[in-house]
């Protein structure tokens, strides 16, 4: 078993229950904006948002563009006449309040903190990620948080991992394990950088042939069976 010094955790979908927070935040933002909310808005928004995040991870748009563009497209699709800039700001405030964890996250970090230092490495937005970590019960478990919006590069870019390693004093890549649910940004990105990887795969999706990974878990608690 490699002797890791650091564990890199993705945030959304790995530690934080992003789908739940997203659904609640969108409904709250509509309410606070005085716009009637329909349940099918969430499905439309998620499709738009996912496409834009994939575009951002390719380096084709900036976080500032994404924050507004997703609501421009949502309102154009649903026929809503409202400022996407104003709505986007309200939505981020609501999303930052959603610090609910994935099942098993707290218990897993309680065990791992005995022998490892842990960092969050995320493509999320600064205003959301720092606020939700500050109010989360796991805030004392996390030594560093590296956010793509702050450093100017997003996973899976090698520059993102360069910045993350520099923040930690440039440990050996052999001493760091990446744990995340996104195959492209977390697993492929870290593997291409030369790190060991643990794919968090709660939906038990088929594993792609490449790259090779070090571990695969369907539950965060399984990690403690490998790492003591």
Q: Cα(131)–Cα(172) distance, rounded to whole angstroms? A: 30
Half-sphere exposure of 52 (CA within 13 A, CB side): 21
| Annotated catalytic residue within 10, 12, 17, 196 | 10
Per the CB < 8 A criterion, the answer to whether 41 and 74 are in contact is: yes
Q: Would you say the C-alpha torsion 126, 130, 133, 135 has a positive or negative sign?
A: negative
- CA 142 to chain CA mean position, Å: 15
Q: Known catalytic residue: 10?
A: yes
Q: With the CA atoms of 120, 122, 124 and 127 taken in that order, what torsion angle do they form, in degrees rounded to the nearest 10?
A: 40
- CA 160 to chain CA mean position, Å: 14
Active site residues: 10
């Amino acid at each position: 078993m490699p002797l890791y010094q650091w564990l890199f955790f993705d945030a959304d979908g790995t530690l934080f229950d992003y789908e739940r927070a997203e659904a609640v935040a969108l409904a709250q933002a509509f309410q606070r904006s005085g716009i009637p909310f329909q349940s099918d808005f969430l499905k439309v928004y998620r499709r738009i948002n996912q496409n834009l995040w994939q575009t951002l991870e390719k380096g084709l748009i900036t976080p500032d563009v994404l924050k507004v563009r997703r609501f421009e497209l949502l309102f154009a699709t649903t026929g809503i006449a409202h400022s996407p800039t104003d709505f986007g700001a309200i939505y981020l405030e609501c999303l930052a309040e959603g610090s609910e964890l994935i099942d098993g996250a707290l218990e897993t970090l309680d065990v791992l903190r005995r022998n490892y230092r842990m960092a969050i490495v995320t493509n999320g937005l600064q205003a959301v990620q720092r606020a939700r970590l500050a109010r989360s019960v796991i805030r004392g478990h996390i030594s560093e948080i590296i956010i793509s919006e702050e450093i100017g590069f997003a996973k899976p870019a090698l520059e993102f991992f360069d910045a993350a390693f520099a923040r930690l004093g440039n440990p050996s890549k052999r001493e760091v394990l990446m744990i995340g649910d996104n195959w492209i940004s977390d697993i492929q990105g870290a593997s291409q950088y030369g790190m060991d990887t643990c794919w968090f795969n709660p939906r038990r999706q088929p594993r792609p042939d490449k790259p090779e990974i070090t571990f695969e878990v369907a539950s965060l608690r399984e990690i403690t069976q490998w790492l003591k």
